[in-house]
Structure 1
């Protein structure tokens, strides 16, 4: 096969370039960042189906929450009232805005001889005292518009749903922000909501993608120039990882995918893991050069032949580790695993396809290889002279790390992905401080047979639910279909008599008719057209997925006690899907780790055809996995979307060097060498490549700690620690295990 590659190397390169040209549109498409729900959840996920059902009934749930604060005067000053009125009007005029609910757009129910009508709260010429007097008797409406001291107002901007909404979100939010800042300074105006978080994540993902792509290539270039001092070898490895990354992104974009929180790591993972086989090929060529005077071309082809079989199986094990993520119930992890596996497979193709081109042009570095082998031989001797204390220390370390496993918890906190000083975080904190909890948790209420949304029993139960739910820690304002009736009754009868009137079917029937006539748009947001389902929005703080699950359970318990006899209640909207991530993360970690362990062990056994040696490889390769998971348990680092796959990934790349080690060791044993001789020959032959790949991987993943996204920082730090553990297992634990179980 190597001879065929060498013979048709020009055709191989031509096909590669043609594929690159064909996939250029896909590369451009892939570089657009999208962290929307579609990339997180599988298409058939029940939670996603329920979310789409909610949007069909009540429209786009993506609401921008705007909190504006007063300066020296309250918001009831003439200048502030005019600014609020103009702001509402300009926001409503934006093409992407469906509706705005704020002081400037709020209307009050009025009555005249000709019937009822709706009058604007902030009509031209209305002063602050008139606004205060009007809202004094309408507490339900007032608490949705102003704080009690009238120093903070809230506006809700509902954006229109569209087919390409996720791609336009950032631009739409920029238009909203620019409109707000024309009337209120940035120090007094703050934007929040799920869409704002999405847009912030998209921007950081784009930033980190450029950083990691640049750092990955820069790091690789510096290491190769410092160690090998040969630009042709640098061109070789750049070609391997460059073509692999480019074609992977091209296929990724062509199939309709966009960069997200996980796949932003694709380039750096492909770069760093793709280096491993290329480094083993270069090391093999250098080892052969120290023993023969064959010309460069034949030397390169011999090295490619000698390393093809172990490189093939190391690629298969790495690919198997990433493909194990296909068992995850999260689309974002499935996509990451699939395309990373594709990129690693392409690295194998280009390691040999470009190797027949470029390796013959580069000069061998036999002297430096001999020096590295000599130092490793000395280190190996030191390890074997201290087998008992080193083995005991390794065992104690394993037991200590294993004690951290029960402390592991699965959780995720979206706001925690941002740096503490990020504008999204600052705005969120400012809104919560000035207004209170504001993020919506949607509940859908379906009346039981014989009841309707405007039945006295249902409305009284909904009010009882709201009163009880407000007592929960962290729960803020609550607004739902019941609030529409309560607000209308407050306008007609006053605050005290309005609650009594909730028990009158005739009064509620008239209120229902008035609501449909005077406030049809508002009614559609909280009641379906046929009146079969009502909506209650509970405002709460930004919580982690685990905390949100607990809070939702508490709210549902209250709902069962209050609304249960007359209606069924279920959570809806975005938040239930967010809460499900805890279950998905746990399933992803368990399924992917078990599957990758099974696949890797099977491939190792298939590779060496020796059950005992295959079993021995389990120890050094599970060691870095235990290092990561145990350390996470002790440090309180939760399993989230970034770390859910880390155990399977660590296992997949840590086994690569083990495969090269065990392959050469098996060859030495089959040649008749004693175990001690075989171990020494192996450590001096493949050891330099193991140390070099470990060093490059460690530095590359440690560089991820410079990323902006906390998920990227955590992933990089933990993977760097795992690589250090893998190097320790490969150079110390594995030789000791071999010495104990494969004796002379």
Structure 2
């Protein structure tokens, strides 16, 4: 590492040019960086509990469901049902949706004149409010539907949107956006209409991670500037650690985008860590250089001194 540092000091413009080229290449890969949230990433890979969980998923399947929740004092009013039926038809045309389950197609099994009738609850729309309330009470009396597709109080219903079973995760932002656009008419006739499921949760967490980066990075930079001002008191010495931290973050995110490594709950802390770990090495180098510069007559002496004394420190910081 000592020889490498001295080589850098002898030909600074060449190495600065190479750093600029590498940074430009890394910047082109930032567009491929994705934010991806999955509970599987938080599980220990060789944990017996995870092995058992994966086995159960393979044996019994794992349906991915998004619930469309509709809240209103009279959720089965004819005008609302007409809009809901049209929205469900639109949702069923989305590529990611395998099928829907709602009171429109869930059978209401009952005996009629000695025969078994299993027509859906909403095979025919209720004629008036009294019929709608009676239908809601009938659905809420079914333990398989109560607190699943119908609230116990009868003021909310749900539509289950079952996603296609695919190996990879769907595009959460695209799926959430498609569903939100499809259910927009429902917000005009229901008090509340929203979709909730893992795609929406992952999309929300992803947006929170991006927002946190926008808030935490300026705070980290401000703390670094304050520390550098107290320790070094020179503009160049203050700017250099910021520059190296920015280049480190750019290279790291560019490499992650190129390799297809997503930004998740764990890796979202990388920028802060790079600023903290990288700036400590920079401060030590600059402090040692200024100390050697004050005691040396030759310009090359401080460079040789920090290469000799700080080479191992720089190597350990780089490996870290």
TM-score tier (shorter): 0.7 to 0.9
Q: Which residue of 2 aligns with 1:554?
A: 178
CA distance, structure 2, for counterparts of residue 464 and residue 560 of structure 1: 12
CA distance, structure 2, for counterparts of residue 552 and residue 558 of structure 1: 10
Compute the RMSD of aligned alpha carbons: 3.6
Question: In the alignment, does 2:155 pair up with 1:532?
Answer: yes
From 642, 656, 659, the equivalent of 2:280 is 656
From 5, 13, 17, the equivalent of 1:392 is 17
Where 2:66 maps in the other structure, the secondary structure is strand
Report matched runs for 1:270-309 at 5 Å.
none
CA distance, structure 1, for counterparts of residue 215 and residue 187 of structure 2: 37
CA distance, structure 1, for counterparts of residue 210 and residue 122 of structure 2: 46
Where 2:108 maps in the other structure, the secondary structure is helix
CA distance, structure 2, for counterparts of residue 594 and residue 548 of structure 1: 28
Q: Is the Cα contact below 8 Å between 2:289 and 2:302 reproduced in 1?
A: yes
Q: Is the Cα contact below 8 Å between 2:176 and 2:199 reproduced in 1?
A: no
CA distance, structure 1, for counterparts of residue 177 and residue 4 of structure 2: 58
Deviation at 1:533, TM superposition (A): 1.8
CA distance, structure 1, for counterparts of residue 13 and residue 20 of structure 2: 10
Q: Which residue of 1 aligns with 2:37?
A: 412
Report matched runs for 1:413-492 at 5 Å.
413-415=38-40, 422=51, 424-425=53-54, 427-428=56-57, 431-432=60-61, 438-447=63-72, 452-482=74-104, 487-488=107-108, 492=112
Judge which range, 404-413 or 457-466, deviates more. Answer: 457-466
Where 2:265 maps in the other structure, the secondary structure is coil
Where 2:290 maps in the other structure, the secondary structure is helix
CA distance, structure 1, for counterparts of residue 288 and residue 176 of structure 2: 57
Larger radius of gyration: 1
Q: Is the Cα contact below 8 Å between 2:98 and 2:162 reproduced in 1?
A: yes
- Using a 3 Å threshold, how does the CA distance of structure 1 residues 499 and 489 change in structure 2: closer, same or farther? farther
Q: Which residue of 1 aligns with 2:261?
A: 637
CA distance, structure 2, for counterparts of residue 540 and residue 390 of structure 1: 52
Deviation at 1:621, TM superposition (A): 3.5
Report matched runs for 1:49-88 at 5 Å.
none
CA distance, structure 1, for counterparts of residue 298 and residue 246 of structure 2: 27
Where 1:523 maps in the other structure, the secondary structure is coil
CA distance, structure 1, for counterparts of residue 199 and residue 242 of structure 2: 41
CA distance, structure 1, for counterparts of residue 134 and residue 26 of structure 2: 68
CA distance, structure 2, for counterparts of residue 667 and residue 497 of structure 1: 84
CA distance, structure 1, for counterparts of residue 93 and residue 260 of structure 2: 31
CA distance, structure 1, for counterparts of residue 124 and residue 56 of structure 2: 41
- Using a 3 Å threshold, how does the CA distance of structure 1 residues 662 and 455 change in structure 2: closer, same or farther? same
Q: Which residue of 1 aligns with 2:27?
A: 402
CA distance, structure 2, for counterparts of residue 477 and residue 662 of structure 1: 63
Where 1:536 maps in the other structure, the secondary structure is strand
Q: Which runs of 4+ in 1 moved over 6 A?
A: 495-498, 542-546
Q: Is the Cα contact below 8 Å between 2:100 and 2:159 reproduced in 1?
A: yes
Deviation at 1:417, TM superposition (A): 5.9
- Using a 3 Å threshold, how does the CA distance of structure 1 residues 600 and 673 change in structure 2: closer, same or farther? farther
Deviation at 1:587, TM superposition (A): 1.6
Report matched runs for 1:293-372 at 5 Å.
none
Judge which range, 383-392 or 652-661, deviates more. Answer: 383-392
Q: Is the Cα contact below 8 Å between 1:661 and 1:683 reproduced in 2?
A: no
Where 1:617 maps in the other structure, the secondary structure is helix
Where 1:453 maps in the other structure, the secondary structure is coil
Deviation at 1:580, TM superposition (A): 0.2
The structure richer in helix per residue is 1
CA distance, structure 2, for counterparts of residue 497 and residue 581 of structure 1: 37
Q: Is the Cα contact below 8 Å between 2:108 and 2:119 reproduced in 1?
A: no
Q: Which residue of 2 aligns with 1:724?
A: none
Q: Which residue of 2 aligns with 1:597?
A: 221
CA distance, structure 2, for counterparts of residue 498 and residue 615 of structure 1: 69
CA distance, structure 2, for counterparts of residue 622 and residue 556 of structure 1: 37
Q: Is the Cα contact below 8 Å between 2:75 and 2:156 reproduced in 1?
A: yes
Q: Which residue of 2 aligns with 1:627?
A: 251
CA distance, structure 1, for counterparts of residue 120 and residue 227 of structure 2: 76
From 566, 577, 582, the equivalent of 2:201 is 577
CA distance, structure 2, for counterparts of residue 550 and residue 382 of structure 1: 50
Where 2:268 maps in the other structure, the secondary structure is coil
Q: Is the Cα contact below 8 Å between 2:68 and 2:195 reproduced in 1?
A: yes
Q: TM-score, normalised by structure 2?
A: 0.78
Where 1:501 maps in the other structure, the secondary structure is coil
CA distance, structure 1, for counterparts of residue 170 and residue 143 of structure 2: 37
Judge which range, 672-681 or 641-650, deviates more. Answer: 672-681
Judge which range, 385-394 or 541-550, deviates more. Answer: 541-550
- In structure 2, the gaps of 5 or more residues are none
Where 1:502 maps in the other structure, the secondary structure is coil
- Using a 3 Å threshold, how does the CA distance of structure 1 residues 689 and 520 change in structure 2: closer, same or farther? closer
- Using a 3 Å threshold, how does the CA distance of structure 1 residues 583 and 546 change in structure 2: closer, same or farther? farther
- Greater length-normalized contact order (CA 8 Å, ≥ 6 residues apart): 2
Q: Which residue of 1 aligns with 2:307?
A: 683
Q: TM-score, normalised by structure 1?
A: 0.37
CA distance, structure 1, for counterparts of residue 20 and residue 120 of structure 2: 74
Deviations 1:86-129 (A, max 9, x none): xxxxxxxxxxxxxxxxxxxxxxxxxxxxxxxxxxxxxxxxxxxx
Q: Which residue of 2 aligns with 1:646?
A: 270
Deviations 1:193-225 (A, max 9, x none): xxxxxxxxxxxxxxxxxxxxxxxxxxxxxxxxx
- Using a 3 Å threshold, how does the CA distance of structure 1 residues 383 and 643 change in structure 2: closer, same or farther? same
Deviation at 1:445, TM superposition (A): 0.6
Deviations 1:539-561 (A, max 9, x none): 22579888233223322333334
- Using a 3 Å threshold, how does the CA distance of structure 1 residues 497 and 630 change in structure 2: closer, same or farther? closer
